[in-house]
Structure formats: C-alpha cells, structure tokens
Amino acid sequence: MNSAPMELRTAGRRVYIGKLAGTSVFDPIGDQVGKIHDVVVIFRYGSAANVIGFVVEVGPRKRVFLPMTRVTSIESGSIITTGLLNMRSFTLRPMETLVLGQLFDRVVALNDGSGDVKILDVAMERRRPKDWVISKLHVQRQRTTALGFIRSGETLNVSVSEVTGLRSRDVEQSAATLIQQTEDMRAADLADFLHDLPAERQMAVAKELPDARLADVLEELGDDDRVAILSGLEAARAADVLDVMQPDDAADLVSELPEAQAQHLLNLMEPEEAKDVRRLLTYAESTAGSLMTTEPIVLGPDATVAQMLASVRREDIPASLATVAFITRPPEETPTGPYLGMVHIQRALREPPQTLLGTILDSDIEAVSPQAHVATVTRLLATYNLTVLPVVDEDAHLLGAVSVDDVLDELLPEDWRDYDDEVTDRMMARSIDG
C-alpha cells in the first residue's frame, strides 16, 4: 500500500481512510511500531458506524489490532499510540467490517432515487476524543446502459445516511480500488493480505488480478487458499493462470485438486505447459523430480556470455534460477540433449561478452536423478554453495533443476504460510533443536 505521507485531516477532524493506508504508527517516544493496514468498523442499526480500531502491520506476515482507545493522535503521515500494543494476531470477528478490504468498491443506492454509486473512499470523523464514526463516502455514480454495461459517472461526497446497502454483503462487489491500493505489494505480501480477507472478497480480488499477478500470488499461498481460489475461477481462466505459473508450482496445486477437476484443467492448458505439469506429477513426493522446475536457463556450448547475460535478465526468471545457466547439447528444451555442465553467473561476469560458454564450464557439480530425496538435494546445495541443482535422467539428459527456495518450502512445516511467523519459527526451532 502507498505509505507516502498524505494530508489526512480536514476541518472537523475528518480523515479519508484511503489516504490513511500505509501511514506509520509510532509509540509515545517516537519509535515506529508498524503501518496502518486497514480500519475496523462495526455497523449498528439505528446509529452511526463506529470505528473501533486499526489493523496494524508490525512485520512481514504479522498484523495486530490497535483499538481506538489506545490512539492518542492522528496526524498527517503518522498515528501516535499509548505504546501498549497487543501482539496477538488480528482476527476479524463476524460483526466487524474492514473498510479497505470490504467497503471499497461496494455498490450502494442513493436514498434520493437518483441511482447507484460505487464507494471509492470512506471518511471517518471524530465526535469526541477516542470516538470516531464513519461519516462521509466518496462515491462514483454507476449507470447501466441499454446493452447492460456499467458506466461510471461523476464523483461526489455523500453522508452515510444518504445511502442504502452499506451493511449488506454484495457477492458481486468489484475489487478494482482494493487492487489499486495493493499494486505495489510483493506477491508474498499480497498473498498474506488475501489470506486475511473474507472468502467472498478474497475471490473478488483474485478474479480481477491479471493472470501473471494471480499466478505469482497463488505460488505464495497455503494449499487451502489457493485451491479455493483456483476452484472459484471459471475453468478456462484457471487453466490460463496455471499456464503462467512455474511448472513445479502448478503441479503442486493441481495435485491438491480432485482428480476429475485436475484432468479437466490439464486438458484446457496449453499442451506444452500441461505436458510439463503431467511429467512432474509422476514423481513421488519429497524427491528432486517433484520439486524441480522444467524451465531453468538452458543454453548450448556455442552460446556466448552475452547471450547468457541476456537470458538471466529476463523478468520471468526467478532469482534463484538466474544464478546459473545449464549447458547441454541440442535440444535445449527439457528433456534436453546430453548435459555438459553449468556456468555460474559470477564466472560469466568476469569474462568478455564473446566468450563461449563451453570454454568456462563447471562440470564438477554432481547432478541428481529425479528419484533423489530432498535430503540429498539439500546436502549438495549446501556442499557446493548453490541456489539451484541440475536433475538428469539415466542417460544424462537434463530434466530440470531444483532451486533452494523449493527445497526450503519442502523442509518447512506443512502449510507454514497459513501460520503466524512466530508459530512457524517455534515449529522449526523445535525440529532443529530436537
């Protein structure tokens, strides 16, 4: 979310929550303790919607609740607390609503009969110290054309009392504004954000994300969340998303689906992508074959250093794979021709651009079979200080490569992404300490 300082106040102590997202939270002595992630409100019939507190991001994958009673000041670019912050992870209760996560993009009706409007921002206003309510909505008119299309019109500010439908849940609610708020997030952080949303909003965001962005997010989600999201998409869209995922991640996700659904999606995928996924699904769990990607950087021995550097600069190449180019005889698509060795990026950077990769090969690194256990892969990565390890068949054809991030994912507790960081750390510590 945008964390740049913005003017938060207007006359009458009114704060627009869209501008509040990302604002730093400080303790009384000026130490930053986190950033605003969302605002929590409770709607009560017959009275104003009360702002009860903030969701504060205090670290990666860690969000806690800050009650309004512990907020001493809301200023431009900062929120000051009493210093008392409960570090228990935030959990949304049934009667609570997240303003950014659930109200933005909601369509409500104007009481004057002039039509529907979509919520673009929400203002909270102080009635008395530590007592804030939702007072104004920044909205945009929505008009349905004769062909059934939605057209956006003028924007205006209205009072909460001037609209109907603010409390109701809209299963078709758009997520465009929420996506705009989160467009600068890393995929892992957006995945964590989605995990905390109610199911219907989680799905709404997923449906409006571009295929590549959604693929990156699914790779970072726990099994339950990503299966739910993929199953909630139209089959053709789900297949498109699987097409742009890393083959090993796509295979992991497909393996969690019911057999009939999995086969249906595989049939809808691009044939070459589906072929890679089907091949990965044949390997047993916790083996090099089940963990490997079928799309490492592969070049021939006559390729130059300049060509290698151009390959590793590609945006779609994960950082762990960009450290090494694997050199093979044709064909250079996996399964390749005979595997010859690897060229490390650090070595390539020391050579003239026209140097042939075949002349600077490292052929001493031991490749593994697809049946090799993850324990063997881990040992070899540690022994040779590598981020990626080649996987070859019995005829020395390169099948793929196992990256260190996939190994770590395998070694971490199952569904570790669904736990708080502290819980994961304790589980790992117990495992390491015996």
Min mean pLDDT across 6-15, 70-79, 192-201 is at 6-15
Radius of gyration of the chain (CA): 26
Q: What is the mean pLDDT of residues 142-155?
A: 72
Min mean pLDDT across 87-96, 268-277, 319-328, 346-355 is at 87-96
The answer to whether residue 190 scores a pLDDT higher than 90 is no
Location of each CATH 1.25.60.10 domain in the chain: 177-282
In CATH terms, the superfamily for domain 177-282 is MgtE N-terminal domain-like (1.25.60.10)
User: In the prediction, which pLDDT does 145 show?
Assistant: 65
Nearest to 75 by CA among 147, 141, 23, 129: 23
**Topology (CATH level 3) of domain 298-410:** CBS-domain (3.10.580)
Min mean pLDDT across 136-150, 165-179, 304-318, 377-391 is at 165-179
User: In the prediction, which pLDDT does 292 show?
Assistant: 95
User: In the prediction, which pLDDT does 318 show?
Assistant: 87
What is d(CA 40, CA 118) in angstroms, rounded to the nearest whole number? Answer: 20
User: In the prediction, which pLDDT does 128 show?
Assistant: 81
C-alpha count within 13 angstroms, C-beta hemisphere, residue 296: 31
CATH number for domain 14-91, candidates 3.40.30.10, 1.10.3720.10, 2.30.30.240, 2.30.42.10: 2.30.30.240
The answer to whether residue 8 scores a pLDDT higher than 60 is no
Location of each CATH 3.10.580.10 domain in the chain: 298-410
User: In the prediction, which pLDDT does 149 show?
Assistant: 60
Location of each CATH 2.30.30.240 domain in the chain: 14-91
